[in-house]
Amino acid sequence: MSDENRIDSAEEREIRRLEARAGGMLPGIAGISMFMIFMTILNAFAALRGTFGAGGAKYSVLAICTLLAVGVFGLLRLKKWGWAIVTAGTLLLSSGDFYFFERTKTGFFLIRALLVLVFFLYLVRGSVRDRLR
């Protein structure tokens, strides 16, 4: 066996080891998914109760909630399209909370906006994107 073959086999073993280690879901993805599905359910029930109004806002919130729920289940299966939808959802939720904080000066919206912004920053990390299919 020549030196090149030994080097190639050592490189191949290292690649297989890294691929086996990289598989699976990160705990942060599961936590973010649970939080986002909880927020989706809360917003859907609020829209059905008429909190967002009776017109087009109600149906647009329900449409966004449906899309985000589909994205969460896609993210749990480690699909790239699920990651993209949830990443956009976290950015949308964070910007909406910053807007409501600016309008109402309620500290709850600022705290939730910062928390969801941390979720967004976690999702755009390279190590999270590397695990997606």
**Distance of alpha carbon 83 from alpha carbon 74, whole angstroms:** 7
CA–CA separation, 123 and 24 (whole Å): 15
Collapsing DSSP to helix, strand or coil, 9 comes out as helix
pLDDT score recorded for residue 42: 93
- The total number of structural domains that make up the chain: 1
Query: Interior CA angle at 93 toward 91 and 94, to 5°?
Result: 65
Share of residues in the chain with pLDDT > 70 (%)? 86
Tell me the average pLDDT of the chain.
87
With respect to residue 52, please indicate whether it lies within any of the assigned structural domains.
yes
Q: Between these two residues, 71 and 9, which has the higher pLDDT value? A: 71
Q: Which residue has the higher pLDDT, 104 or 16?
A: 104
Q: What is the pLDDT of residues 24-47, one digit of tens each?
A: 788 899 999 999 999 999 989 988
How many whole angstroms separate alpha carbon 51 and alpha carbon 63? 15
Is 107 among the domain residues? Answer: yes
Domain limits for position 77 = 26-129
Residue 110 inside a domain? The answer is: yes
